[in-house]
Structure 1
Amino acid sequence: MRRARRTLAATATLAVASTMLTGCFEEPSPHDAVRDFLVGWQSEDYDLAAGRTDGDLATVRKALSDAKLELDAASFRFKIERVSVTGEESRADFHAEVDLGENNPLWEYDGILPLHLVDGTWKVRWSPSVLHPQLKEGQRFAVDTEPVERQPVVDKDNDPLQSDTYLYVVGVYPSKLGDQAEDVVAKLSEVTGYAQDRLLSRIRSSPPGKFVPLVTFGRSRYEAMKSKLTAITGIETQPQKQPVDPDAPRQIVGSVSALTPESEQKLGGPQRAGDSVGKSGLQQAYQDYLTGSTETKVITLDLKTGKEVARLKEWRGRQNVSVKTTIDRAIQNAAEAAVADTDTSALVAVQRDTGEIRAVATKNMHQEKDALAGKFPAGTAFSIVAADALLKSKVSPKQRLACPQERTVGGAKFVHTGQTDGVTSSGTFQENFAKGCVTALASLARRVTATDLAKSATSFGVGLPWRLPLKSFSGSLPKLPTDADKAKAIAGQNVEVSPLGMALVGAAVASGTWRPPVLVTDPKSPDPAAEVVPAVQPAPVPVDPRVLTTLRTMMRAGAAGTVAQAGRGKVYGVKSTAGGGLTWFVGWQGDVAIAVLVKDYDAGAVAGSFFAGLGNSS
C-alpha cells in the first residue's frame, strides 16, 4: 500500500515536472530532447525517451526498464540544472532522485546527458553512463541489503526476557535461477500470498550470487507449508535463530511473528522478508528500536562475473538496540508462584522508592489489559487514600467508630460483609481501617470535603497522565457533590483503579513519595512508531509528613493477623473486598510494594506467598 502511494505521488507530480522541464522552452533546441528523454524515463514512457536518443530503440527501452527493476525503484524524479551548447554538441546536467522504496533516504545523484545534432535534430548520445556517470558497458545496477538481527528485550540486569527460537527464511540465489525466476516467483506468490511483482523485483535488484530473503515463516506455519515450498525448484530455506520466544512476564514482553504480506503492507518499511515483527507488548511498542533498519548499498555489478564494480551510495541504517526493562527475574518468579494456585488474579510489584515495575503476574487475566490498564472497583483498599484526606482533616486514628452490619449515609446504603450476626461492634478509626469496615469508614464522609478527597487522590497518582510504553490506567475519581458520593469514595465504591495504580499507592506510603511507574529505562525516548504518549512524566509527590507516620502505623495494623503477615517479618498493607468476589491486598515488605487482586480467593494469602518467595524479613 505504501509503495502504491509512492508511485501514485510520483505520477501526480509528473504534470508539475513536465511544466518545470518545459516552461521556458519555446523553440526547437537541445532542451526539447532533454525534456522528452527525462519525462519519458520518469513516467516510464520508454518509447518517448528512446526516441530522443541516437541508440537502438529496443536497447534503450530495455536499459531504462531494467534500471527500474535493478534498483527496485518506486519512482524516479528529475530536474534539469543547466543546458549548454557548443556548435553541434550540447550537454545537459540533471539532478536525479530515486525512491528505493525501503524507507531509506532518497538516492540523489547528478547526471549528464551528452547531445549532438543528427540530421538537424538534437539527440542524446546513448551509452549506459546516461543513466549514471559510473555505469559502463557490461554493467548493471543492483541494491545490496544487509538485514540486522532483532535485539532482545532484557530485564534490569540485562538478561534477555525471551529465549531463542528459529524462524525459517525462504529465498533464492538469483544466479542459480537462470531464466526461471518468473516461474519460481509465480509459484511462491501463489503459496504465500506475497505480490509476485515485489518478489521478482527483489530478486532482480539483488547481487546474483547473494542469498535473497523473500518470505519468513514461524515454525508451525513453516511445517504446515513445508511440502508446498520444497516442491518449488530453485528456492532454499535458511533457519534463522532469533530471540523471540517470550519469558515471564510473557504478555508484557510480547510476541513476535514473521513478516507477512499484511504486516509488510501495514508497516511499509524498513522491514523486508527475513525480518520479524512485534505483535504485542514491548515487542510491538518498540518494534523500530528492536529491528533498526536495513543497511542498504546501491552498487554496479559486472554482468559476466556478478562481482561488485563500484559502490554508488550507502546507508548504514538506524542502529537497533535492546530494550531494557525494570523487571527483576527473582521477583517475577516469586509473583508467578504466588498466583499459581488462584483461578483469577493479578499481582503487580514495584520498587517502592523509584516506581520501577519489578513484576507483573496474572492467572486468567491479561498482564497489560488487566494488571496495568484494568479498571476495577477499588473497594476499601482506597481507604489508604481516603485516610490521607481524613487525617489531614483532623480525624484521629484513635477516634472510636461504630461498625454496624448496615449503615445509610446521605441516602446511600452500606453493608459490612464481615458482620453477619447483626451485632454492632465498635473500634477506633485505625482498627476499622485495618479490618475494612465499610460502614464505619463511610460514616466519616461528613468529616472531609470533596476537594480534600480529590487532592489526596491526585497526590497518590489517581487520574494523572503518566507515561508508559504499554496501555495503563492511573485510576478515576468522580465528582463528589453529596455526602453519599463522598462516603462511596471513602469505601472505594465509585472509584476505579488498576493493580498497577494501587501498587504505586502502597509504594508511596512505604517510601514517603508517590512516583509515576517506570517499565523501560533504555531507550530513554519513546519508540518513533509508538502511539502518542505524554512528553513529560508527572512529578513525584511527597506524602504529607504530618500523616505519613500514622498512615504507616495504620497499614502495619492492617497486615497484622492476616495470612500476608503470618511468620513473614514486618509486612504493611490493607486487605479489602471490592464486590463481585474480588478482594485486594495493597502493601509492602522491605523495598517492594505490591497490589494483589483476586477473585474468590484470599488476596492476603497470595501476598503472603509472594513475600515468602522473596525471603525478605525486613
Structure 2
Amino acid sequence: MEFPGSPRRRLGGLLLALALLAGAVACTPRPEDGREVLERFLTALAAADIPGAAELTDRPEAAEEDLGLAWRALDASYLEHGIARIDGDGAQSTAEVDLDWALGGDRRWRYRTTMALARVRGQWLLRWQPSALHPRLGANQHPALRTLPADRATVVGSDGAELLRPGTVHRVILDRDVADSAQGAVNRIATVVNNGFAADPQGPRVDARAVGAAAAGGSGPFSVIVLPGDAPGRIREQLAEIPGVRVNDEAAMVRPDPGFAPELMSRVEDLVAEGPAGVDGWAVVAASPDGATVSELHRVAPRAAEAVRASIDKSVQDAAQAAVDTRADAETMLVAIRPSTGEVLAVAQTRKADERGDLALTGQFPPGSTFKIITAGAGIALAGLDPGATVPCPGTMEIGNRVVTNYNGSGVGDTSLDAAFARSCNTTFGNIAHSLAPGQLKEQAAAFGLGVDYRIPGLTTFTGSVSEGTDEAERTDAGYGQGLDLASPFGMALVAATVARGGTPAPTLLPAAGTWSSRASRPLDPAVLAGLRSMMRSVVTSGTATAIAGRGEVRGKTGEAEAPGGSHAWFTGYRGDLAFATLIVHGGGSEHAVAVTDRFLELLDEAAELTPAP
C-alpha cells in the first residue's frame, strides 16, 4: 500500500511531468529560417543562373549586375557550396555559408561568408549586398581574378655573381601618325638622350640620321630606343613632352653592372630571352565596376624560377679585361676556360681589337711556338719520345728541303726534349713534324680541340686549322706554328684546357644549353699528358716564361709568330682549373703576352685575398 507523499509516488509524478513537457516541446513548431530559399539561391548561383539567383534577393537588379560581373571576372569553371549554420526567429535569419570556387588551372578559392535573409510580405528573400558574396566586398564591388606573373629567372655567373636580374626598362616610342615630322621628332629625341647621358661613355645613344631614315616612310608606332631602368626621370619627362612620343615601361632583364662585358652579356641576354619564368601566381581582388583593383581578397604568390647559370665568372672577366687593357695600344685579347667543365670564364679584348670584331673567339692567327704543345704531344704519342729523350736543337738545321732557324739563331746542339721545349727550339719541333706522316699532325691537333667545330649557344667560335702537311716544307713549318697553321685565342685556350683536363672539354657559355662538336672528345694518352704537363712547367721554371714563375703552379707555352707587319706575341697555359690564352697582335716578343697574363693572375690573386672565406 502506498501513501500520498511516499518516495515512489513522488518519483512517478516527476516522470509524468517530464513526459508531458517533452511532448509539449516536440509539438512546438520550429521557426522558419529561409533555408529553402538560401539553398535555391546557392544552387542557381553555382549553375551560373544569374537571373534565377537574383530573383531570390530583395534587390534583383543590383544582385544580377553584381553576380554577373563576379562570374565573368572570376572566369570560374564551377562553384561548390554548403550551409555551415543558419539561425533565425521566423522574420529574419543569418547564415554562415562556405563557398569553393574553381577558377581553372587547379586554382581554388575557398572562404566562409555571411548571408542575411528576411521575410518580406510572407516571402523569404536574401538581403542583397556585395558583402554577401564575400565579407570584404564593398558597395559596387565584385571579385575578379588577376594573374601575378612570375619573375624571370636571375642569371648568375659560375662564381655566383649576379649578371642579370628581372627589372624594368623604358621604351621610347614615336607615333608617326601624330608627329609633324618623323625626322624632326627623332632629332629631338636624340638631343634629349645624347645630352642626358653625355657623362656616361657606356650610356645609350641615338643616331638621329640612321634612326630617322628607318622611321621615315612608315606610319604608326615606331620604337626609337630602349633606355635603362635607372634612366633619370627628367630625361623621360623631356621625351614625353615631344609631340607623338611616349615612354613605356617594360619588364626586362637588366644588368646590375652595365659596363661589365657588354658583348658577352648581350649574348647571354639573347640566350635567356625565352628562358624559364617560374610559376605565375594569382589573386582575387575586389574590383570596381570599371575593373580597377580596390583591394586584394586572396593571393597565391608567384614562384620565381631557379637562377640560370652562365659560365662567365665575373672576377675572372674583370681581371682579364683589366689585364688586356694594360696593352690598350694594341689588339690584345685573353680567353679563359675552366678545364674541368669547359665553361668559358672570360673573353676580354681591348677596344682596338673590338674594332675588328670577335678576334678572341674567331680571329685566325699563326699560333707560333704555342703550337709546339701539339707537336710535342705527337712526338710522344707517335715517335716514342719522352721529356728526357735526346733531340737536336741546333741554331739552324736543314730539314728536308727546308732550312729552319731558331729565334735569334740560338741553339745548344743535342739536348733533352724538355729543355728544347722550354727553350722553344724551332729546329727540334720542325724536325719532329717532318718525321710524321701527312695528316698525323692535323689529327693530333684535333685531339686537343684545334680544328674542331663547336656550336656553342650564344657564341660564334673558330678554333683554328692545320693543314694535311702533304708538302714537306709546309709540314715542317707547321711543327713550330708557322706555315698554314692558324688558331684563335679561344682555340689555344682549349689546347691548354685539354692538357689540364686530360681531354678536350666541351666549351659552353650557358651550360644548360649544351654544346655540339664535330668530333667527340677522347682522353689523351697518359704518357702524353705526363710529358706535356712536365714540359709546360719547365717553360715557367727555367724557360721562356720565367717572368710568371711567381704566380704559383703555372704551366704554359710561349709563342712569337711571324706575320706580315710584325710578330704576334702569344702565351697559353693553365693554373689549377683555369686555362688561358693571351695574344697581342703584332705585339713583338712573347714576353709581352707573358706580362699581360702575369697581370691577369695577379689581379685574380688579389681578388681572392679580398674575398671573405665561406
Q: Aligned runs of 1:541-580 on 2, under 5 Å?
A: 541-561=522-542, 562-579=545-562, 580=566
Q: 1:242 to 1:590 in 2, by over 3 A?
A: closer
Return the alpha-carbon distance in structure 1 between the equivalents of residues 245 and 445 of structure 2: 66
Q: Once the 2 structures are TM-superposed, how far is the Cα of residue 283 of structure 1 from its aligned partner?
A: 2.9
Q: Once the 2 structures are TM-superposed, how far is the Cα of residue 550 of structure 1 from its aligned partner?
A: 1.3
3-state SS of 1:340 partner: helix
Amino acid corresponding to residue 457 of structure 1 in structure 2: A
Q: Deviations over 1:137-189 (max 9, x none)?
A: xxxxxxx99999876643124533258997434579xxxxxxxxxx9942288
Contact 2:153 2:166 in 1 (8 A): no
Return the alpha-carbon distance in structure 1 between the equivalents of residues 291 and 549 of structure 2: 75
Q: 1:373 to 1:215 in 2, by over 3 A?
A: closer
Return the alpha-carbon distance in structure 1 between the equivalents of residues 268 and 160 of structure 2: 15
Return the alpha-carbon distance in structure 2 between the equivalents of residues 234 and 384 of structure 1: 60
Contact 1:515 1:539 in 2 (8 A): no
Contact 1:378 1:496 in 2 (8 A): yes
Contact 1:564 1:606 in 2 (8 A): no
Aligned to 1:431: 419
Q: Deviations over 1:212-257 (max 9, x none)?
A: xx77543799999975741438956659885156443322112xxx
Q: Aligned runs of 1:370-449 on 2, under 5 Å?
A: 370-392=359-381, 393-419=383-409, 425-449=413-437
Is 1:483 matched up with 2:472? yes
3-state SS of 1:541 partner: coil
Return the alpha-carbon distance in structure 2 between the equivalents of residues 185 and 287 of structure 1: 31
Give TM-score scaled by structure 2 length. 0.56
Amino acid corresponding to residue 607 of structure 1 in structure 2: T
- Count residues with an aligned counterpart: 401
3-state SS of 1:558 partner: helix
Aligned to 2:572: 586
3-state SS of 2:442 partner: helix
3-state SS of 2:533 partner: helix
Q: 1:413 to 1:147 in 2, by over 3 A?
A: farther
Return the alpha-carbon distance in structure 1 between the equivalents of residues 468 and 518 of structure 2: 25
Return the alpha-carbon distance in structure 2 between the equivalents of residues 412 and 498 of structure 1: 26
Match for residue 322 of structure 2 among 319, 329, 337: 337
Gaps of 5+ in 1: 1-143, 173-182, 201-213, 255-280, 296-301, 309-318, 527-532
Contact 2:540 2:549 in 1 (8 A): no
Return the alpha-carbon distance in structure 2 between the equivalents of residues 374 and 243 of structure 1: 30
Aligned to 2:227: 218
Larger Rg computed on CA atoms: 2
Q: Once the 2 structures are TM-superposed, how far is the Cα of residue 373 of structure 1 from its aligned partner?
A: 1.6
Is 1:463 matched up with 2:451? yes
Give TM-score scaled by structure 1 length. 0.55
Is 1:325 matched up with 2:334? no
Contact 2:152 2:166 in 1 (8 A): no
3-state SS of 1:390 partner: helix
3-state SS of 1:593 partner: strand
- Measured on the aligned residues, the alpha-carbon RMSD in Å equals 4.5
Return the alpha-carbon distance in structure 1 between the equivalents of residues 245 and 270 of structure 2: 34
Q: Deviations over 1:396-431 (max 9, x none)?
A: 4334444444444333343322336xx765532221
3-state SS of 1:186 partner: coil
**Worse overlay, 557-566 or 345-354:** 557-566
Q: Once the 2 structures are TM-superposed, how far is the Cα of residue 383 of structure 1 from its aligned partner?
A: 0.9
Amino acid corresponding to residue 571 of structure 1 in structure 2: V
Aligned to 2:178: 186
Q: Deviations over 1:303-346 (max 9, x none)?
A: x95889xxxxxxxxxx9997531112222232223223113311
Contact 2:153 2:165 in 1 (8 A): no
Is 1:474 matched up with 2:463? yes
Aligned to 1:351: 338
Gaps of 5+ in 2: 1-145, 187-214, 282-287, 294-303, 609-614
Return the alpha-carbon distance in structure 2 between the equivalents of residues 290 and 188 of structure 1: 42
3-state SS of 1:581 partner: strand
Match for residue 154 of structure 1 among 153, 156, 163: 156
3-state SS of 1:349 partner: strand
3-state SS of 1:565 partner: helix
Contact 1:149 1:242 in 2 (8 A): no
Q: 1:223 to 1:453 in 2, by over 3 A?
A: farther
Return the alpha-carbon distance in structure 2 between the equivalents of residues 305 and 216 of structure 1: 33
Return the alpha-carbon distance in structure 2 between the equivalents of residues 379 and 594 of structure 1: 16
Contact 2:450 2:494 in 1 (8 A): no
Return the alpha-carbon distance in structure 1 between the equivalents of residues 151 and 308 of structure 2: 14
Q: 1:610 to 1:461 in 2, by over 3 A?
A: same
Q: Aligned runs of 1:1-20 on 2, under 5 Å?
A: none
Return the alpha-carbon distance in structure 2 between the equivalents of residues 188 and 333 of structure 1: 47
Q: Deviations over 1:454-500 (max 9, x none)?
A: 22112111222222121101221112113212211111112111111
Match for residue 230 of structure 1 among 230, 235, 241: 241
Contact 1:252 1:282 in 2 (8 A): yes
Aligned to 1:282: 268
3-state SS of 1:518 partner: coil
Contact 2:168 2:249 in 1 (8 A): no
Contact 1:400 1:427 in 2 (8 A): yes
Contact 2:239 2:245 in 1 (8 A): no
Return the alpha-carbon distance in structure 2 between the equivalents of residues 434 and 159 of structure 1: 38
3-state SS of 2:507 partner: coil
